[in-house]
Each structure stands twice: as C-alpha cells, then as structure tokens.
Amino acid sequence: MQWFYLLGLLISITGMAIIDWRHKLAFWKDARRTGVTLLLAVLIFILWDFFGIFLGIFFHGGSNYSLPFTIAPEFPLEELFFLFLLCYSTLVIYNGVSKWRSRI
C-alpha cells in the first residue's frame, strides 16, 4: 500500500500526457519550450517547499499510502511527481482553454 500515492501520481501524469498527445497542447506542441517551462516551475515549487519546511509549515505526515523514505528531511519522493503533475496539468489546461477559445 505504500506505493499507492506514487502510483496514483504516475497514472495521472500518464493520463495528462495522453490528453497532451491527443490535442498537441504542450510536449507534443513544443517539447523544448515545455520542458524548460516545467523545469523552471518545478524548481520554483521545490524552493517554496524547502522554505515551508524550514519554517515548519510543511512536513511529511507518514501516510500508509506514501513511501516511508524522503529525499531530504520532510521532503518525500512523491513530492517531485506531485509538483510535476501540478505544473504539467496547469500548462495543459491553460493551452487547452486557449486553443478552445481561439476556435470560438
């Protein structure tokens, strides 16, 4: 059960990639630009997380559904996948809405 959260994130990322592929919204529209955008966005959120951990705002709760180890104190491995999904889904939704609005 410790892999459920990571598995859910990976399934969600896969679903988002399928939507992206089908509608050419991010990676399948401009892979280099998307990669750079996602890398910068995820790095900003990682810095945000470390700042929140330092202030005692964020902590690893130790759920039965998450992995028992962390990359850094209070920073679980799954957080990287969550941040990627957060940024990727935002980019796909933004580009999808922009594409939809241009057709109206």
The per-residue DSSP string of the chain comes to: -TTHHHHHHHHHHHHHHHHHHHHT-STTT-HHHHHHHHHHHHHHHHHHHHHHHHTTS------TTS-S-EEETTEETHHHHHHHHHHHHHHHHHHHHHHHHHH-
- 66 falls in which pLDDT band (50, 70, 90)? confident
pLDDT at 65 over 90: no
pLDDT at 62 over 80: no
Residue 103 resides in a domain: no
Residue 104 resides in a domain: no
Q: Domain residues for 81?
A: 4-98
Q: What is the pLDDT of residues 6-61, one digit of tens each?
A: 999 999 999 999 999 999 999 999 999 999 999 999 999 999 999 999 998 987 77
Residue 17 resides in a domain: yes
Residue 43 resides in a domain: yes
- The number of folded domains in the chain is 1
Closest CA to 16 of 100, 102, 98, 91: 91
